[in-house]
Amino acid sequence: MVLAVSMAHRWRCNILGRHVANLADHVAGCRNRNNCPSLDAAKFGEKSMNMASNLAEAASSLPANFLVAATLLLGLSSVYLVIFWQSWPRIFGVSLLAMASISFTITATLGKDVIDPCLEKAASEFGVPAKVLNAMRLADSPPHNEALAARLFGPMGLGEPALLAAQKGANIDPDEAKIDTCQNFRAAAWFLSDARRRAGGDLWQGVGLYYAGDTSTKRRKDLSDLYIARIQKAAGEN
């Protein structure tokens, strides 16, 4: 099984590896003024930033593996440090900026796909997609906050009505769900599962009910539609 997964992702790693190799070759070819007399900081910085963008694009095809990204960045950083710190100090600042860009873009790309183990477990327990529940966790929700007009708790931003419903429906202690991340995920997963049930089994209509409560008025229907679109986008479904 491990071998199969490794082979399946090997080609993806090769994409990222090629971009790292290209950048390393560029750096090695310009390690002194005689090798590339026409190079200036601005042009080198622009090329480095373009390569950083390519790295981030390639990273998006990889699974959420921070160890791979960290190893590649460490190796690339070492090349930059050895070549530029002693032989070309002025370019080193631009190189450092490029490294920061690479680090930020790869981390942001990979980080959005990382799902908390407690969230995955809660999603599995109540039969809802972890990807959708995670998108709901990540999504910004000021209209929902205003609609509830209540204090919100935990990473899922649950209000008292949702917590009390989860207590009744799944025996989840509302006080624990306010302060315990895993219990908060469980309460949200149950609440989404119940909303989907009330929506006749339709997941996305259930997402709408999760936020709007019901769709009996135009205002609540609009709120439901807003959140369906928002969560679909966050989950990469549209």
* Whole-number pLDDT of residue 7: 42
For residue range 119-153, what is the model confidence (pLDDT) as tens digits? 999 999 999 999 999 999 987 444 444 444 457 88
DSSP letter, residue 213: S
Token pair listed for 49: 């930033």
**If pLDDT is split at 50, 70 and 90, which confidence band does 115 have?**
confident
Stated pTM of the model: 0.54
Taking only Cα atoms into account, the Rg of the chain, rounded to an integer number of angstroms, comes to: 24
Q: What's the pLDDT band for 22 if we cut at 50, 70, 90?
A: low
What is the three-class DSSP state of 158?
strand
Confidence of residue 81 (pLDDT cuts 50, 70, 90): low
59 to 48, 52, 100: CA distances (angstroms): 16, 10, 15
The two tokens of residue 37 are 């007399």
8-state DSSP, 153 = B
Instruction: Please compute the mean of the pLDDT values over residues 186-210 and round it to a whole number.
Output: 96
